[in-house]
A and B are shown apart, each in its own frame.
Chain A
Amino acid sequence: MPIHRIEVAGKPDQRDAAGAALCARVQEDLGISVENARIVEVYTLDAALTDEEVERIREELFTDPIIQTSATNRSLAQNYDCVIEVGFLPGVTDNVGRSALEGVQDILDRALAAGEGVYKSTLYVLEGVTKETAERIAAELLANELIEQYVVKTAAEMTALNGKPLLALPVVTQEQVAAVAHVPLDLDDAGLVALSRERMLALDLAEMRVIKQYYERSETRARRKALGLPDRPTDIELEILAQTWSEHCKHKIFNAVIAYTDENGEARTIDSLFDTYIKGVTDAVAARVPWLVSVFGDNAGIIQFDDAHVFALKAETHNSPSALDPYGGAMTGIVGVNRDVLGAGLGFQCIFNTDVFCFASPYYKGTIPPRLLHPRRVLRGVHSGVRDGGNQSGIPDINGAIVFHERFLGKPLVFCGTGGISPAVVAGRPAHVKAAQPGDHIVMTGGRIGKDGIHGATFSSEALHEGSPATAVQIGDPITQKKMADFLLEARDQGLFNCITDCGAGGLSSSVGEMAREPGGASIHLDKAPLKYAGLAPWEIFLSEAQERMTLAVPPEHLDAFLDLARRREVEATVLGVYTDSGSLDCHYNGELIGSLDMAFLHEGVPRMQLEAKLDAPEPRGELLLPGDEADLTNDLLQVLGALNVCSKENFVRMYDHEVLGQSVLKQFQGARQDGPGDAGVIAPVPGSKRGIAVACGICPKYADLDAYRMTACAVDEAVRNLVAVGVNLGAIAGLDNFCWPDPVQSPTTPDGRHKLAQLVQACGALYDVCLAYDIPLISGKDSMKNDYRIGDTKISIPPTLLFTAAGIVENVEQVVSMDAKAPGHGVYVLGETRNEMGGSEYLALRGQLGVNAPEVFPLSARGLYERLAVAIARGLVASCHDCSDGGLGVALAETALAGDMGMTVTLSPLNVSNGVIALFSESQSRFVATVAPEHADAFEAIMQDSVCHRVGETSSEPMLRIVCADDRRVECDVDALRQAWKQPLDW
């Protein structure tokens, strides 16, 4: 096939913004100065085209005549030392290439033939670098060798190429489809373990034994004989079992029987953490929250929004893929959780995203262990992936956080959350009720299947190790998904399907396997599945985690209408089989039965794990040292404002579309200059209604090493008080728990597994206690239990982490309160008690100390405070309210002032804390800084009188923050200087 290479570049007189940004990044990230960089887009057409057609395509599709110049089979690179070209590896999603193909077909007014294609690559034209330097820029900044190929050429080498392609075309070469293999199980224990490892099944010995026993049963053998299947499992059966039983899908640790010994040596048995604590607390508060609609049973939790609408919420993690390919991993994280909401009930429209990331410091200076990327690169990649995934999907990002801790070097955490809304009744049916019926067609919609993401579910159930597969990485395709989402909501409103679910982790195996539970079986023909390229074995088709797919149950009477609508919306939809009541999951390929699994064994056969948990006595720690006794604490406050966990993330947040859909009420950044950090995102999702949803997050891994119970309680409290700060009342809040833990299963490679599991037990206990006190049902959640890095002698385990996402219903969005001081002369109040709780604080972290006392949550007194504050806000008495968290009271005061672009004069003696450092920097929970107009002061104080509520000062028009502590130590600082200190560290 003739290859046409089209290069497109900015005209020489145009400023190359992307090239300039690249130079800056190379300087910032690698410390290399590049004199000049220009970026040339390259489109390679592998198609039988006439010269005239190629020219038309070049001019009409690829070239902007106002600002660009282009050439065919000739390079535009000029005046340079080296070029780097980066393109995809075969089989990797090429979104630009796919859109370009559509554009080419529009121009030709004909479809390209099978095997013809358009491929995108990028040529970086660099001036002032040697080839060695260019190699480094390519490897460390521009290309990710797991998904991309690159080549570096000098000017002389380019001349010799004379316009020929630099890279091989990323075409997947056809392979012979592997025959279905039969896997012998007549192995001893060592052999079973080896088999699990070699086939990447991630099943343990007990599970392998149960599978072996299943195949040895006489009734299994008789059944298989009758079906014409071998005694031994086929490869696809074993893969289905491994996927269905994976930690990722079955949450075996949360469902285990745990023999727990606490720090006092007292032992008890916990029969499932999930049932005891998570479902337990939801059951306990369910009677007090009449708005629960569907919890734990679906892809997302569902609650009532108003009489006519229901609201769905879900958060997910995508940690392991983001470690390998930050951009693609994070993008699939965000578009993946969108599909959870799209697949909740009969389908919800996604109306907001949240994002919370955990990284090591981007300023990390140490060596990077093999296969890990520098945290700065991870941060940039993850942020870009979530940005592109969310923005291109048209879903606003309304709340999030970026958290730093040194041990996230081993694995970054990428939490993506999504909320969705649906009419309570769609096509005459309750929106939250769905079930496939026997006889319904199994229909897959959206993207095609490739080898991408095979073994993703089992991969995320393992530590990152040398053999971690590159195929575990996928790149999202938000536009294919957007088209599918639009189509599916149309089909929903016409009542065209009975059931829908995301085709995510575990692929068709998971989605069809799960949906087949209700009817009692399924029969699928894998040769009918649309593939990106030939060469996939049947088990790979079934297990592939290729993105942008949903699986549906379409009744026969609606099949034609469903497929017709799909065709008109240019969404691929394929019938793969039928749901049955046969009691088995049957897989066929080219007319032959290649696997049949008993549904009961598949879903109920996994043996429960029996685990031990024992809390180690806390390490003896020295008494808290409070360094320094200087009278002026201004510099200390400026330093804490600049701490990575405190400082402004505005730069990153502004790159997310946070207003699309037009529902925005409170944005991430607020106040006079729109640069003050908001506490909760608020939207009004139903046109014409002032009823709203507020969303906030809490996450405090820095307290985990001191006390996992307190870490968890703090995370829940942080999310809740963020909601309370804007005016949400208790009783209207639902929660999501996302646990990310280091491996808590005792083993030779995890010698402290019992302790880590005991920390998990403590965390679950805290979750239960605080949610019970605050009347918060947990409506959905997820756990990721293998967040370790282990290569050679290096092991890095993340600090145990809980992300708590809280969503609350706002009766009237006109009453919500933002965090910025509103006017001079307003009273400044500190609500809640300040204690000596410096453990894990930002103040001590800056001094290299961890401290002793992690902050403790006292939910009963906090509850009283929250309820009174909600009354005061609802009565319109509060001008501003801001959550007090990372960094402590000093930070909350400074942020309130700088957001209002005004000063504040404060005396902290009413707090009854003698040490000024503790008053300013202790991170005691359940506190707020509020400002109140003089005319409302009496009423406000009257409402708050039974809670801890101190009037500490007044706002002022002079832009100075003045704080005097009880010990007469002081802060005195210009508000611009506060702003500068707070904004500068991540102002990239």
Chain B
Amino acid sequence: MTVNVLVLTGFGINCDNETQRAFVRVGAEADRVHLNDLLADLSRLESTHILAIPGGFSFGDHIASGKVFANRMRHKLGPALERFVTDGKLVIGICNGFQVMVKMGLLPRIDGVSAQETTLTCNDSSRFENRWVRLQAPSGNRCVWLRDVNEIELPIRHGEGKFIARDDAVLQKLHDNGQVALQYVRPDGSPAKGAFPFNPNGATDDIAGICDPTGRIFGLMPHPEGYQDRENHPLWPRITLPEEGGGLRIFQNAVAFARDEL
């Protein structure tokens, strides 16, 4: 079965090329589609198995990161997207795409309902930063994108990546439901506990990525599509690493899951 991926573009999204490439490298058919072209033909979603909202600066991050794009998607794509996710199809939002997803309420969908329960806001440093981080997928997490992933190193490149939940109850549910998908850790694998630069933004409970209760909808601040080749890793001149970049595993998992389940 061919797994069809729709990678959104337009309005300042800027990681669409490498996101598309990542899906193609793991065997999917992936098209970059401008949001306006999708809105003009919503039936495109019917043949799509995975929707990707890549990183970038949609609308310049003006007002708040992802906000204007999220509003546009909610207003113009809402019911079609709701059908897409209730059909059990997969969605990933990376960096700006993650910001879009939490602001339109597509994550965390704690009770299977879209509503904003969490946010991503200004890093504690008050700065945009580009650095590599080490991440751990907590045991018991439900994310199908992370099936065989325990630890992974990826670049972060954001100014507004500090994850905050509405309140402790929401946070607790995320933990209890296995919806906390990725957390920042120290190089030795111990929790970052908010310490900079291991947790680069001050995110609550070191949360770098979350998924919905089905594990099929996934958002994360780090860029898995930014680590497709050994040479992307900052330490490749020093240490032995596999030829294939670690970020590809995330896309592989999703494509394999879609092939098996959809």
Contact = CB atoms under 8 A, between A and B. Distances in A.
A5 to B, nearest CB: 15
Given A106-B76, A661-B18, A662-B21, A99 B71 contact: no
Contact of B14 (A67, A102, A394): A394
B62 A95 contact: yes
Contacts of A569: 10, 34, 36
Nearest to B231: A665
B151 to A, nearest CB: 18
B57 A391 contact: yes
Given A96-B63, A687-B21, A483 B128 contact: no
A482 B126 contact: no
Nearest to B58: A479
B181 to A, nearest CB: 19
B139 to A, nearest CB: 27
Interface in A628-684: 654-662, 664-667, 669-672, 674, 684
A17 B67 CA distance: 19
Query: DSSP class of A's interface residues: helix, strand, loop or mixed?
Result: mixed
Nearest to B64: A64
A654 B21 contact: no
Interface in B32-66: 34, 36-37, 40, 55-57, 59-64
A117 to B, nearest CB: 15
B130 A654 contact: yes
A814 B36 contact: no
A817 B63 contact: no
Interface residues on A, range: 35 or more
A401 to B, nearest CB: 18
A17 B127 CA distance: 9
A479 B59 contact: yes
Interface in B204-236: 223, 225-226, 228-229, 231-232, 234-235
A103 interface: yes
Nearest to A60: B71
Contacts of A662: 15, 17-18, 21, 223, 225-226, 228, 232
A479 B12 contact: yes
B80 interface: no
Contact of B124 (A15, A391, A483, A816): A15
Main secondary structure of the interface of B (DSSP, over half): mixed
Given A66-B166, A570-B36, A659 B57 contact: no
A654 B56 CA distance: 17
Contacts of B237: 666, 670, 816-818, 820, 822
B122 interface: yes
Interface string B98-131: 0000010000000000001111011111111111
A393 B11 CA distance: 10
A568 B34 contact: yes
A66 B18 CA distance: 32
A822 B162 CA distance: 35
Contacts of A15: 124
B75 A107 contact: yes
B67 A61 contact: yes
A283 B225 CA distance: 43
Contacts of B26: none
Contact of A674 (B118, B129, B234): B234
A17 B123 contact: yes
B63 A62 contact: yes
Interface centre among A99, A106, A661 (most CB of B within 10 A): A99
A657 B95 CA distance: 13
B231 A813 contact: yes
Contacts of B157: 391, 657, 659-660
7 contacts: A18-B126, A67-B164, A391-B157, A482-B12, A664-B231, A664-B232, A684-B231
Q: Which 10 A-B pairs have the closest CB atoms?
A: A394-B14, A662-B18, A99-B62, A21-B126, A66-B119, A818-B237, A17-B126, A96-B62, A392-B57, A99-B59
